[in-house]
Amino acid sequence: MNSTIFLFIATLLCWGPTWYVIKFQLGIVDPMVSVFYRFFLASLIILLACVIKKLPLKFSLKEHFYIAVLGIFLFNINYVIFYLSTQYLISGFVALCFSSILFMNVINNIIFHQKPPKMMTILGGIIGTFGLIVIFFDEIISFEFSSKTSYGILLGIIATYFASLGNLVSAHTSKINLNVISVTGYGMLYGSLSLFLYLLLIGTSFSYEFTLSYSASLLYLSVFGSVFGFSLYLSLIKNIGANEAAYVAIIMPLIALGVSTIFENLVWTLSLFLGAALIILGNFLILKR
């Protein structure tokens, strides 16, 4: 199998179920504290693996600066803001906000690199996003566009933009040939520690839920959702660039719907089938070489 296709599919399989697994993190522990636990644990696992595999862990001060910025964008700010966004939005809106990362990457590439997108990237992204709109159409029109909803959408867009900035920083660290796994480990460490400092400043209490569901879900999110998921995704960015890799954000909700079908008895309607077909078509166009 082509390495790019493998990375794409593997990333989807790691990240798709996380939408459902995160539900087991909600309850006693503050969600932002759970985000800290997740990425701090993931960073320790990756850095330990780097030591065992003798991967490069020594970087210059300038390189550490780029890695820290990547970590703060990808493993801190966008997760915190997305959590705030979910307080005001239905899941369909949140998914649509995050799927806009493809267009955010296009805009940022134009701003920072004067790099025009490929026509297939634009066409595939439009078709894929339209597929998501079809899937969540009934859910969207049933909501009144209140001030809280407007605020939630704004937060979702801001969160996605920070994730896009993180993607571009990752593309830069790959361009200067920094090891993807080492960068991911350090990035998660910087992101989690910066979140830790933020939580201390706002006086958040650190607690832990000693239940099987919480511990198992935290382990899954740390190992598969973070260690494998982000290592695969950042490797995908290195292979094909931030624009094309971001299509994961459009097709990932489709995987999440499959998980919901199995575990939450989701009933597939005509709009779901049509939306899924459009997402698959957009996926084919954007990845076609």
pLDDT of residue 147: 63
Closest CA to 45 of 229, 176, 171, 247: 229
241-278 tens-digit pLDDT = 766 777 787 777 777 777 778 887 777 888 888 988 88
pLDDT of residue 146: 62
Are 16 and 252 spatial neighbours (Cβ–Cβ below 8 Å)? Answer: yes
146-174 tens-digit pLDDT = 667 778 878 888 998 999 999 889 888 88
pLDDT of residue 287: 63
251 sits in which H/E element:
helix 248-263
pLDDT of residue 268: 82
- Alpha carbon distance 48, 260 (integer Å): 34
pLDDT of residue 135: 77
pLDDT of residue 145: 59
Residue 226 buriedness (CB in 10 A; 0-12 / 13-18 / 19+): buried
Residues in the chain where the model's pLDDT stays below 50: none
Q: Which residues contact 28 (CB under 8 A, 6 or more apart)?
A: 207, 209, 214
Q: Is 184 helix (H, G, I), strand (E, B) or coil?
A: helix
- Alpha carbon distance 154, 144 (integer Å): 16
pLDDT of residue 61: 94
Are 173 and 68 spatial neighbours (Cβ–Cβ below 8 Å)? Answer: no
Are 169 and 176 spatial neighbours (Cβ–Cβ below 8 Å)? Answer: no
- Alpha carbon distance 107, 117 (integer Å): 9
pLDDT of residue 128: 79
Structure tokens of 153? 């959408």
Domain ranges of the chain: 3-287
Q: Crossing angle of helices 248-263/119-135, nearest 10°? A: 30
Are 250 and 132 spatial neighbours (Cβ–Cβ below 8 Å)? Answer: yes
pLDDT of residue 144: 62
Cα angle 123, 259, 4; round to 5: 45
Are 16 and 232 spatial neighbours (Cβ–Cβ below 8 Å)? Answer: no
pTM: 0.81
pLDDT of residue 209: 94
Cα 34 versus chain centre, distance: 16
